Amino acid sequence: MTSVKHAFRRSSAISVLFDGPAFPFIMILPALLMLGFVIGLPMLEAVRLSFDSIALRRPAAAGTYGVHNYLRLVADPKAYAALGFSALYMVGTVIGSVGMALTAALLTRRVIWFSGLARVAFLLPWTVPAVVTALIWGVMYDGNFGVINRLLDFVPFIDGQNWLIERQTALPALIVAQVWNEFPVAYIFFLAGLKAIPDELYEAARIDRANAFQQFRHITLPHLRFIIAVIVILLMIMGFKSFPIIFILTGGGPAGATETLTVLTYNAAFRSLDFSYAATLGILAVLASAMLVLGYLRLLPRTGHGDVM
Amino acid sequence: MASVEFKSITKRYDALDVLNDVDISISDGEFVVFVGPSGCGKSTLLRMLAGLEPITAGSISISSEVVNALPPRDRDIAMVFQNYALYPHMSVGHNIGFPLRMVGTPKPEIERRVSEAAEMLGLTPYLARLPRELSGGQRQRVAMGRAVVREPSVFLFDEPLSNLDASLRVRMRGEIKRLHQRLGTTMIYVTHDQIEAMTLADRIVVLRGGKVEQIGTPLELYNSPASPFVAQFIGSPAMNIFEGTMDDECFVRITETRIALGTRPSGISSGAPLLVGIRPHDVALGDPGRGTLSGELQLVEEMGNARLLTIQVGGTSVQIETQHQIALLPGATVHLTMPPEKLHIFPK
Ligand SMILES: Nc1ncnc2c1ncn2[C@@H]1O[C@H](COP(=O)(O)OP(=O)(O)OP(=O)(O)O)[C@@H](O)[C@H]1O
Ligand SMILES: [Mg+2]
């Protein structure tokens, strides 16, 4: 054995690389570099752009670096409003999607007949591209011909609206369309989470005189806590980033009432053609959503007694 | 406290008949054990009483009130599950107090009753722990605590000890028995372990293939089993069963030997085939002679206080238990005497 090992011994420099503690890191180095390149480079470019002055209406200013875009941002009332709309949109879609997904998951978990069909029905909206979702809801919301107003004709005391044109209804209307499109993501997670809860716990709870609501409150919810926490983060980011539904349905209107950060960024880049200011708004969006997610994580209780996970 | 009555209970899953026309009547304060081989429907019967399983036909009453349509919460029963079914995210204290919290019992009273139950079961030091931080025996006690704290009118146990090791099982068995003596509440206990059944029960219900095979006190089942199945199920080592034919008058023929019976069994005509049972400790080794069976000794198992011999008699393998020292080697021919009064005769 020893002699064989001896015969194949590598030169000492190579053996340090391959046999030493650095070996695992050397193995993943190419992947790390690749990831760093793919993820890091566009970010760095966005940061660089936000300090530059690339605006097609003032081409001469290009190459002037400084904090002027950030100064402008701090003084821009539209940016504050957009931040508020994005946050509202995010909160609305998270609450709507979690509520919708949880309801759907609870409804379909025990169905025996056509269970596949029921699940597919709830997953279907997810397969619809956001652009198509926007078109579908645009037609449904239409003040004159939309199916929503037609249905409301049968409901006393609630009048039809120009949903996307009224200031008060535009943002909620967008949120409903977004929820319809994205809640299936949460739905499949919840369905999987529900399946993992042993039936025996519900049987014990029934024997222990818990009613349906108490079973939900004391068995289901505690077991789903971790999944809900993860889903909320996912939905927060999705909500903050969403663009196509808003852009197609209202374009930020009426009169800026739905102009979220993403729409404002788009307008800055492709209407005003001020790419550097758009990049600055983009940086604001990243920082704001990161802070919201971190803030949410702080709100979650630490793992310990009373936790499932 | 309450009596329990199963009347013509039938349970069907699709085409599968799980229970067939089961009648059992349990009086107030009784400790009844359902015993039988795996899959005979013991758990199903218990779960129907608990309200976890719908009843296909028949009726179940608790304290003379038909409960078929009542949900579990209105039946005033507590149940201990085989895998305990503790709430994994709640502390021991919260697990035990759960049934009280669900009906809005005032907090001070919950605390008092939980600490009483914990005291009784030796769980006081563990009240703040989570179930996963407990040993199997401690979890089992928590499950019992959750049942005890309610002061229900009937306790149901579904193989509560089957996940414990042998010595702990014996200890917990004793604790359950003491619990019954102390509370005097009706208890129904499911097991497939006949020793558990014998030691715990006031009365045993032997189930087989979804039917009641026999109901009786442990001694009744042991001394006068109604069928070869019960005879072999109750008692350890199991009763020996020989195939034989009824001879004239008071003899039964096993292989070539005529064995005397004490009295002629009624309803069996001469020449009819029958089964003859005898418990291993009732068979004695003897000298060759009239009325003894001879066979070949195959195995001697030492048990300390006794020896267990396996003997091949004709086509039947027979076990006998003897207090005497044995100097015989496997292969030797031995002669068995069977006292007539110890024989159990079953028509075939
Ligand atoms: N949900 C179900 N669907 C179909 N068949 C079932 C169902 N539950 C139980 N069975 C069948 O009913 C029969 C009785 O089951 P049960 O659980 O009552 O047996 P058991 O006597 O408790 O057995 P064990 O000692 O193994 O626990 C079994 O044959 C089982 O396969
Ligand atoms: Mg069972």
Name the helix (H) or strand (E) containing B108: helix B107-121
Based on the fold, state whether residues A25 and A124 are members of the same structural domain: no
Average pLDDT of chain B is: 90
Least confident interval from A173-187, A292-306, B202-216, B247-261: A292-306
Return d(Cα B199, Cα A214) in angstroms, integer.
39
Ligand 1 touching residue B48 (CB < 6 A): no
The answer to whether position A14 is within a domain reads yes
Q: What is the pTM of this model?
A: 0.82
Based on the fold, state whether residues A22 and A151 are members of the same structural domain: no
Give the pLDDT of residue B262: 74
Beta strand pairing call for B211-216 and B65-66? unpaired
Based on the fold, state whether residues B256 and B199 are members of the same structural domain: no
Based on the fold, state whether residues A36 and A128 are members of the same structural domain: no
- What is the CA angle B312-B314-B317, rounded to 5? 35
Based on the fold, state whether residues B299 and B185 are members of the same structural domain: no
How many domains does chain A contain in total? Answer: 2
Going from the Cα of B43 to the center of ligand 1, the distance in angstroms, rounded, reads 7
Give the pLDDT of residue A3: 52
A20 or B57, greater pLDDT: B57
Give the pLDDT of residue B1: 67
Based on the fold, state whether residues B228 and B295 are members of the same structural domain: no
Based on the fold, state whether residues B9 and B34 are members of the same structural domain: yes
The answer for residues whose C-beta is within 8 angstroms of residue A58's C-beta and 6 or more apart is: none
Based on the fold, state whether residues B108 and B219 are members of the same structural domain: yes
Based on the fold, state whether residues A38 and A174 are members of the same structural domain: no
- The shortest CB-CB distance from B89 to any of A206, A211, A306 is to A306
Give the pLDDT of residue A110: 77
Give the residue from B313, B318, B321 showing the smallest Cα distance to B295.
B313
Has residue B31 got a pLDDT over 90? Answer: yes
Q: Please give the structure tokens belonging to residue A41.
A: 């480079």
Based on the fold, state whether residues A280 and A161 are members of the same structural domain: yes
Based on the fold, state whether residues A151 and A24 are members of the same structural domain: no
The answer to whether position A84 is within a domain reads yes
Based on the fold, state whether residues A74 and A45 are members of the same structural domain: no
3-state secondary structure of B329: coil
Query: Where is the domain boundary, B233, B249, B275?
Result: B233
Q: How far is CA B237 from CA A114, B37, B40, B215, B232, in A?
A: 52, 16, 22, 21, 9
How many domains does chain B contain in total? Answer: 2
Ligand 1 touching residue B39 (CB < 6 A): yes
Which amino acid, residue B51?
G
Ligand 1 atom showing the smallest separation from residue B47 Cα: 18
3-state percent helix, strand, coil for chain B, nearest multiple of 5: 30, 35, 40
The answer to whether position A19 is within a domain reads yes
Q: Can you give the CATH number for the domain in which B141 is found? A: 3.40.50.300
Give the pLDDT of residue A1: 46
| Chain B environment of A198 (Cβ under 8 Å) | 85
Q: Which structural domain, as residue segments, surrounds residue B83?
A: 4-233
Give the pLDDT of residue A308: 39
Based on the fold, state whether residues A17 and A134 are members of the same structural domain: no
Based on the fold, state whether residues B155 and B262 are members of the same structural domain: no
Query: Where is the domain boundary, B208, B233, B258?
Result: B233
Give the residue from B113, B15, B21 showing the smallest Cα distance to B6.
B21
The answer to whether position A171 is within a domain reads yes
Based on the fold, state whether residues A15 and A84 are members of the same structural domain: no
| Chain A environment of B81 (Cβ under 8 Å) | 200, 203-204
A9 or B222, greater pLDDT: B222
Q: Can you give the CATH number for the domain in which A292 is found? A: 1.10.3720.10
A50 or B158, greater pLDDT: B158
Based on the fold, state whether residues B193 and B252 are members of the same structural domain: no
The answer to whether position A308 is within a domain reads no
Is A204 in contact with B50 (Cβ distance < 8 A)? no
Chunk chain A into consecutive blocks of 10 residues (it has 309) and report each block's average pLDDT, rounded to whole numbers. Answer: 53 71 85 89 88 80 80 87 92 96 90 81 91 92 84 81 85 94 94 93 95 94 92 92 92 86 90 88 90 86 48
The answer to whether position A250 is within a domain reads yes
Return d(Cα B148, Cα B116) in angstroms, integer.
10
Based on the fold, state whether residues A40 and A175 are members of the same structural domain: no
Query: Where is the domain boundary, B233, B248, B283?
Result: B233
Q: Can you give the CATH number for the domain in which B325 is found? A: 2.40.50.140
Based on the fold, state whether residues B229 and B244 are members of the same structural domain: no
Q: Which chain B residue shows the shortest CA-CA distance from A202?
A: B85
Q: Which chain A residue shows the shortest CA-CA distance from B100?
A: A208
| Alpha carbon of A210: minimum distance to chain B alpha carbons (Å) | 5
A221-241 vs A275-299: helix axis angle to the nearest 10? 170
| Chain B environment of A200 (Cβ under 8 Å) | 81, 83, 85
Q: Which structural domain, as residue segments, surrounds residue A260?
A: 66-299
Ligand 1 touching residue B44 (CB < 6 A): yes
Give the pLDDT of residue A145: 82
Based on the fold, state whether residues B108 and B214 are members of the same structural domain: yes
The answer to whether position A60 is within a domain reads no
Q: How confident is the model at residue B32 (pLDDT cuts 50, 70, 90)?
A: very high
Based on the fold, state whether residues B102 and B247 are members of the same structural domain: no
Q: What is the pLDDT averaged over residues B25-32?
A: 95
Is B77 in contact with A222 (Cβ distance < 8 A)? no
Based on the fold, state whether residues B159 and B201 are members of the same structural domain: yes
Based on the fold, state whether residues B196 and B274 are members of the same structural domain: no
Is B79 in contact with A204 (Cβ distance < 8 A)? yes
Based on the fold, state whether residues A190 and A102 are members of the same structural domain: yes
pLDDT digits (tens, 9 = 90+) for B87-143: 999 999 999 999 999 999 999 999 999 999 999 888 999 999 999 999 988 999 999
Based on the fold, state whether residues A82 and A150 are members of the same structural domain: yes
Residue pair B4/B188 in contact (Cβ under 8 Å)? The answer is: yes
